[in-house]
Amino acid sequence: MITFNPRQACLWIHRYTGLAMAAFLIIASLTGALLAFHHELDDLFNHKLARVEAQNTPIQSVAALHDSVIRTYPQYGFSSLPTTIEAGKSAVFSVDRWRSGKPTTPEPAFNEVYVNPYTGAVIGTRNKDTWAWHNTMWKVFWLHRDLLLGDIGKWVLGIVSLVWTINCFIGFYLTFPRAVKSSQSKQVSIKKRASLFKRWLPAWKIRRKTNTFKLNYDLHHAFGLWLWVMLFVIAWSSVGFNLKPVYQPVMQAVVGLTPRERGRPPTKPEPNKTVENQGRADKSINSNTTVNDSRNTADAIAQAVNKSNSIAYLSAQADIAARQNGTAVQQLLGIRWVAEDEQWQMRFKTDRDIGTHSGASSITVDAATGEVARVSFGYQSGFGNKVDQWLSTLHMGHIGQGWSHRLYQAFLAMIGLAVAVLSGTGVYLWWKGRQQRLKALQKLK
């Protein structure tokens, strides 16, 4: 009679799915370890554009630097502006995303423009899609994200992440001590049997005096147990990045995740506009601030919030809104001009927000009147959305400030190396086990 052994079945699944995933996980883990320090390494590879020599002259305003960019490249849109500029670093302006449905807007030949903050001179541009030394970290990112294969690579890594997530639970189960057979239970009952915790404790340890096989065995078990929570976070959040048709329904059912609605909610009533008003609403920040166009300059001056005072005005409004809600603004993250609504929008982080990306806050202000149209605090999200924010923030490393951020970056890099060790030791254990099985079969013959 054939009996089903759940432990043996789990061991078989864990072994062969681990083998199938090993190469993908090693690539993703090693690139992920590098990406924990993405910005620092990117500045290193791209130092000719990213770094400038510090000068005694004061740094120019963001508005003046933006004017320099749009004068140099009037054919492109630059709706987003940095809120702060670090000493010794270039000011970076990103080109607006190109939409093929707008034939009047040419496809940009680059993604970023670097400007000397002291002189306002354009240092150069960067196209992050090209193969070049200064794009090394972006190629590492795309190798990590989709194996440099686009959507096909994302689907492959999404499936690998899903199998990895399931394997986290299987691997955890396999670390538990084996059940005592019925034939042995009578002998054990005579003596006092050790508790489950004491019998499980060796799986958490790495033996010092041991051979190569046992060392790999201990590393595989101990690393998997010590880092289990973070391994699960990385695995499941990877499913969220690459396999949303699976991630979202599960998160909705388990934690009550509310899917994000596409598009922006209306921020003000839309009355019947005259042709002149409609034309003004369609202007971009570029045309609204071109110094050679006196009419556009007059429009900018007439606005309560223009490019020159937008950062100061919105940061002040964000401070007021934060204090009213019992929190404080910790960091300004960026500001952008929403041309179709004639509004300014600023992202910022409060002391109660989770991270600087998906969990950040934002404020939107009407440019003509200066009235606050909308304030969204990241910490006020529902429970399911907070869980989603924590998962993505922990995965991407967008957490903490100063030394706390540096420590988490190091920890995240260590997690990446640990995943590579788990995959490598898993392959080694399978290989040694296969050799032993082959020897046993030869003896039987």
The verdict on 31 and 100 lying in the same domain is: no
pLDDT at 93: 97
Within this chain, do residues 42 and 61 fall inside the same structural domain, yes or no?
A: no
Q: Give, in degrees to the nearest 5, the angle at Cα 128 between 122 and 133.
A: 90
Give yes or no: residues 373 and 224 share one domain: no
Residues 213 and 148 in one domain: yes
Q: What is the domain count for the chain?
A: 3
Domain assignment present for residue 345? The answer is: yes
Q: Are residues 68 and 43 in the same domain?
A: no
Is residue 349 domain-resident? yes
> pLDDT at position 193, please?
61
Do 139 and 15 belong to one domain? Answer: yes
pLDDT of residue 293: 40
Across-strand partners of 112? 94, 126
Domain range holding 350? 285-396
3-state secondary structure of 338: strand
Q: Are 329 and 443 members of one domain? A: no
Residue 254 counted as domain residue: yes
**In-domain check, residue 216:** yes
Residues 381 and 422 in one domain: no
Hey, is 115 helix, strand or coil? Answer: strand
Query: Quick check: is 228 in a domain?
Result: yes
Q: Is residue 61 part of a domain?
A: yes
d(CA 60, CA 90): 11
Do the domain assignments include residue 140? yes
Q: Are 149 and 22 in a shared domain?
A: yes
Residues 144, 247, single domain; the answer is yes
pLDDT tens, per residue, the chain with 445 residues: 567 789 999 999 999 999 999 999 999 999 999 999 999 999 999 999 999 998 889 999 999 999 999 999 999 999 999 999 998 999 999 999 877 655 566 788 999 999 999 999 999 999 999 999 999 999 999 999 999 999 999 999 999 999 999 999 999 999 998 876 655 555 555 455 668 888 899 999 999 888 999 999 999 999 999 999 999 999 999 999 999 999 999 999 999 999 876 544 444 433 333 333 333 433 445 544 433 343 343 344 468 999 999 999 999 999 999 999 999 999 999 999 999 999 999 999 999 999 898 889 999 999 999 999 999 999 999 999 999 999 999 999 998 888 999 999 999 999 999 999 999 999 999 999 899 888 888 887 6
Specify which residues 92 forms β-bridges with.
Answer: 114
Q: Are strands 329-338 and 80-81 parallel, antiparallel or unpaired?
A: antiparallel
pLDDT at res. 101: 57
| Whole-angstrom distance, CA of residue 28 vs CA of residue 279 | 48
Residues 406 and 389 in one domain: no
Domain boundary among 79, 105, 132: 132
Are residues 166 and 103 both part of a single domain? no
In a domain, residue 192? The reply is no
- CA quadruple 84, 80, 238, 249: dihedral sign: positive
